[in-house]
Amino acid sequence: MEKTLAIIKPNAIANAEEIEKMIIKDGFTIVQRRRVLLSKEQAMEFYAEHRDKPFFSDLINFMTSGPVLAMVLSKDRAVRAWRRLLGPTSVAAAIKKHPDSIRARFGSSDTENAAHGSDSAESAEREIRFFFPDVTLYPILSGM
């Protein structure tokens, strides 16, 4: 089973229960979860690839404005499946094209877009390590 990192962002933390129901209904297993308040340094490290983007400082201020809920999700092709359930990064596009998606339902702007998902299996590995450095993620069931 593939794993991916999901983050419920500060503007959607009040809807975390509803979002977790959507995650389970979509067939994911929640392998780990951790509620954390990121420091500016941690948020800047996590989003380092965006450091030259015009929205970077807004993104860092937003992601450190309150607690986030980080989760490791497991499912066949989890990276792609979670991004599909999330909807497009742009909330306006999500509302237009995927009104049932998490970002359409709980996002409030392109920055405050409710939740994050890793963009590849490689990013997922790095991002999971970032939030869960002390955890060994054993497969729940394995044919080996």
Q: Which residues are catalytic?
A: 116
How far apart, in Å, are the Cα atoms of 3 and each of 14, 17, 18, 83, 103? 25, 20, 21, 12, 20
To the question of whether residue 103 is assigned a binding role by annotation, the answer is yes
Q: Does 42 bind ligand CMP (CB under 6 A)?
A: no
Number of chain residues interacting with ligand CMP (CB under 6 A): 8
Return the residues of window 91-120 that contact ligand CMP according to CB under 6 A.
110-111, 113, 116
To the question of whether residue 89 is assigned a binding role by annotation, the answer is yes
Q: Residue 107 corresponds to which tokens in the numbers above?
A: 């996002």
CA distance 13 to 69: 7
How far apart, in Å, are the Cα atoms of 55 and each of 51, 62, 144? 9, 11, 45
Closer by beta carbon to ligand CMP, 75 or else 103: 103
Among positions 35, 36, 55, 96, the unique one binding ligand CMP when judged by CB under 6 A: 55
Q: Does 89 bind ligand CMP (CB under 6 A)?
A: yes
The annotation places the binding site for ATP at 9, 55, 83, 89, 103, 113
